[in-house]
Structure 1
Amino acid sequence: MSVNAIIAVRHGEAKGNSAEDPLTTQGFVQAEEAAVFLHERFGRAGETIQIISSPYLRATQTASAISRKLNRSFQKDARLIERVIGDKGGLSEEEVWGKLEEHFEQPELSFSGGESNLEVSVRVKDFLQDLEAGDHQGPILLITHRITMTLLLQQFHAAIGFKECKEMTNPDVYLVDPAASGVSVKHIWNTALPV
């Protein structure tokens, strides 16, 4: 797959996981910190950055902070929403993580009424194919969610999986960098440990 540079950003800390859950006060601070980092790293190059966000409120609030700092507008695309988890059946958080690990090993698995990793990967591939078919020449910045972002990055580096998903912070930033020798995926920043 031929790509522009893709900057994948996980949203700041949110009050919950529903589509309308906003960022927390700390999440707004994190979004501003990510915006400063992205401006320092990419905003001064004079390149036109295209920004696309999940339509979920926590993602669009993060996108707003970033787009203001980069002096760019952003678009929304529903293919970047978080995986619809479905009914976790009263499992504890630890048990849910155990099931999610199984879902990374067997991507067709899902919780009752939810999406599988395979289904999310299909919509992410469709999204990436549309990006590739587009005419934008500069970097593309995506604001999305933990599982969806992991599965998006996995399209470029198959070894990315459950470990990276579980360790992802709010926010987190990865760079998909096309080069003559092949596409690389680099973890370039997060608030816990700027890299």
Structure 2
Amino acid sequence: MLKNIYVIRHCEAGWQPAESSLTEKGLSQANDLANYLSNKNVDQIISSPYKRAIQSNRPLAEKLQLNIEKDPRLAERVLSTQNLVDWLEQLKETFVDFEKKLEGGESSREAQKRILKVVEEVQDNKTAIIVTHGNIMSLLINYFDRSFSFKEWKKLSNPDVFLLKIDGSKASFERLWK
């Protein structure tokens, strides 16, 4: 019951809102991703509905002639609906206290549960690509490797690619994008 899931953080975008597009550099990165992943025998592409995530995997989907399945559970985590001056410090605290929930936001535990559901639904013996955002991607990796924390989140790049291999009850993550 092997699952290979390439977990991808979207390419460079101009801003944070859901409708933000990739920059020119980000569009070039999307083509680089397509070239890098085109020989990985991908069966399925699942993406955050955010424009920057869709644009990040569109070249690959076209190359492989696969549909992009938009899944709102892969959307970026909302830390708070309030404009937080100390948002980075607040985010850091949510990597320590997974139950911490700011006004209008989602706890780390809640966000982690929703991305895990997507991973669980990938069929056995399939290779899938999940395109998402840095914070929720970090929470997924943290589920399988507790040492992956705020510090590692800060080191993520745009894009970034990890391979999650699940074989029965065993799982491993490997960073592929350098």
* Structure 2 residue 99 is the aligned partner of structure 1 residue 108: yes
Of 123, 126, 130, 1:138 maps to 126
Aligned-partner Cα distance in 1 for 2:125–2:8: 19
**1:145-160 map, 5 Å:** 145-160=133-148
TM-score by structure 1 length? 0.82
Aligned twin of 1:72: 66
Q: Residues of 2 paired with 1:178 and 1:128: CA distance?
A: 10
The answer on whether the counterparts of 2:94 and 2:100 sit within 8 Å (CA) in structure 1 is yes
For 2:13 and 2:2, locate their aligned partners in 1 and report how far apart those are by CA, in whole Å.
Answer: 30
Question: Does the CA-based 8 Å contact 2:44-2:128 persist in structure 1?
Answer: yes
Deviates further, 70-79 or 175-184:
175-184
Following superposition of structure 1 onto structure 2, how do residues 1-195 of structure 1 map, counting pairs within 5 Å?
4-40=3-39, 42=40, 47-91=41-85, 95-131=86-122, 134=123, 137-178=125-166, 182-189=170-177, 194=178
- The alignment's C-alpha RMSD in Å is 2.1
Give the CA deviation at 1:77: 0.8
Alpha-carbon separation, structure 1, partners of 2:157 and 2:74: 17
Asked whether the 8 Å contact 2:79–2:91 carries over to 1, the reply is no
Instruction: Extract unaligned runs of 5+ from structure 1.
Output: none
CA positional deviation for 1:10: 0.5
Write out the 4+ residue segments of structure 1 that deviate beyond 6 Å after TM superposition.
none
Q: Output the CA distance in 2 between the equivalents of 1:182 and 1:123.
A: 20
Deviation at 1:69, TM superposition (A): 2.8
Percent identical among aligned pairs is 34
Shift of 1:124: 1.7
Q: How many residues align?
A: 178
| Aligned amino acid, residue 14 of structure 1 | A
Q: Would you say the 8 A contact 1:55–1:77 is kept in 2?
A: yes
CA distance in 2, matches of 1:13, 1:137: 31
- Give the TM-score normalised by structure 2: 0.89
Runs of at least 5 residues in structure 2 that lack an aligned partner in the other structure: none
**CA distance in structure 2 between the partners assigned to 1:33 and 1:48 by the alignment:** 16
